């Protein structure tokens, strides 16, 4: 009788264990090994699509982390991510997950596993040379290809630039949430500038390394623009190349709004969930809820931002000011773009050019809200401009530096192409 009871108990335990295992498998639906269809990047451009075999290395409350195991004909062995980077990624993402979804909204779960998948893979064709992409989100995964909520993270940069790489994944998570609402029909697709500005706000809240890097970049430019996202990379004035103005401008602007709102993240939640027509109206409407900005117009909001920067600097962790880096010469101002100078000798014939004087300096803005509006050429002066020979020498130095390795972001559209507007 005892033998029979033991057999019954063993059978029951075995049946229960199988039932639990089957239940968990049906709920998570996460294969230990699977093949993803991933995109490689070469200096900010699509370098092609490839099958990426990967292995599940971490399964947390909100994440399923896969790592690339081999890669087409050039495969030379499994790529490994450090335990430090893996643990920090999992811990920080899970820690901030609830805060992020409370602010930016909930995301879809089209694969039914309740997880965000992170694929650690070789993203950059030229490792350590030229521009490097730390990670990206591909909207195509939401309605084809991999069919799931997936974020891509570059393996080598996850090891070498762990904090910034995590900041990029958090940045891309906002894009994923944003697109979830587009897929559901609950929101219209945002213009690139606002989608990116919201993603930049994630580092202000959750990733100090990325936010500080943006301020450092901001202090090196003298052309400020985040509204026109498809800005030419050869924008230059006073011998200073401004090839990456969008992200630092967007980050510092969102940081300013955050500070004006008493360091309260509700400003970002208000913008993300706004039903206003016209994306600049989403920002403007949210800003009007801040004391001192209730009567703001789009151009006065931008001029107010830059006026405070000129007066106080981006003083959240630095005292540098645009007055240390004034514009000079003929400058093409795209919609939403600004420069700071000693004076503006002419503003062309465009009614979109507006100016304001602050502390003896002039801020010149193209207030056009047409995303595809033309650039307006203005002539600005800087009384402290150095000699032509010195400017040429400094320009050459800056151009040499411009070829150094740097981190860049990309925004993909629903077809997997790099998005502009």
Whether 352 contacts 366, CB under 8 Å: yes
What is the pLDDT, as a whole number, of residue 265?
A: 97
pTM as predicted: 0.86
How confident is the chain (421 residues) per 10-residue block, as mean pLDDT?
Answer: 48 37 43 92 85 93 92 54 92 98 97 96 80 91 90 92 95 97 93 97 96 89 90 59 80 95 97 95 97 95 94 63 80 93 76 93 95 90 58 30 62 80 59
- How confident is the model at residue 10, as a pLDDT? 43
Residues 287, 411: Cα–Cα separation, whole Å: 25
**Contact in structure between 415 and 140 (CB atoms under 8 Å):** yes
- Would you call 49 helix, strand, or coil by DSSP? strand
SS3 106: coil
Strands across the sheet with 135-137, in order?
Answer: 33-42, 45-59, 63-68, 116-121, 150-154, 135-137
Question: What CA–CA distance (Å, rounded) separates 207 from 164?
Answer: 8
């Amino acid at each position: 009788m005892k033998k029979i009871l033991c057999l019954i108990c063993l059978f029951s335990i075995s049946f229960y264990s199988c039932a639990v295992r089957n239940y968990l498998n049906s709920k998570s639906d996460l294969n230990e090994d699977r093949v993803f269809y991933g995109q490689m990047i070469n200096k900010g451009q699509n370098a092609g699509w490839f099958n990426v075999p990967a292995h599940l290395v971490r399964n947390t409350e909100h994440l399923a982390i896969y790592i690339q195991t081999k890669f087409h004909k050039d495969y030379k062995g499994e790529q490994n991510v450090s335990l430090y980077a893996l643990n920090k990624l999992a811990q920080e993402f899970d820690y901030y997950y609830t805060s992020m979804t409370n602010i930016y909204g909930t995301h879809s779960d089209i694969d039914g596993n309740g997880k965000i998948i992170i694929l650690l893979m070789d993203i950059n064709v030229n490792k350590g040379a030229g521009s490097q992409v730390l990670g990206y989100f591909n909207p195509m995964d939401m309605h084809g290809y991999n069919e799931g909520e997936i974020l891509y993270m570059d393996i080598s940069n996850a090891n070498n630039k762990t904090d910034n790489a995590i900041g990029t994944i958090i940045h891309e998570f906002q894009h994923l949430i944003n697109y979830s609402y587009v897929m559901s029909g609950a929101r219209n697709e945002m213009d690139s500038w606002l989608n990116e500005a919201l993603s930049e706000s994630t580092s202000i809240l959750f990733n100090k390394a990325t936010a500080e890097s943006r301020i450092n970049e901001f202090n090196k430019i003298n052309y400020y623009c985040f509204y026109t996202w498809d800005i030419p990379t050869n924008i230059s004035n006073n011998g200073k190349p401004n090839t990456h103005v969008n992200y630092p401008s967007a980050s510092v602007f969102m940081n300013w709004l955050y500070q004006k709102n008493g360091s309260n993240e509700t400003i970002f939640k208000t913008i993300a969930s706004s039903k206003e027509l016209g994306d600049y109206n989403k920002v403007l409407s949210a800003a009007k809820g801040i004391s001192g900005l209730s009567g703001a117009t789009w151009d006065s909001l931008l001029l107010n931002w830059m006026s405070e920067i000129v007066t106080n600097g981006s003083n959240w962790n630095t005292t540098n000011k645009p007055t240390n880096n004034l514009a000079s010469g003929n400058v093409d101002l795209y919609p939403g773009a600004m420069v700071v100078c000693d004076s503006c000798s002419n503003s062309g014939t465009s009614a979109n050019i507006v100016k304001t004087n602050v502390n003896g300096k002039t801020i010149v803005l193209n207030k056009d809200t047409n995303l595809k509006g033309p650039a307006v050429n203005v002539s600005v002066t800087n009384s402290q401009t150095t000699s032509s020979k010195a400017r040429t020498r400094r320009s050459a130095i800056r151009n040499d530096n411009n070829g150094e390795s740097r981190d860049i972001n990309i925004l993909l559209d629903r077809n997997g192409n790099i998005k502009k507007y």
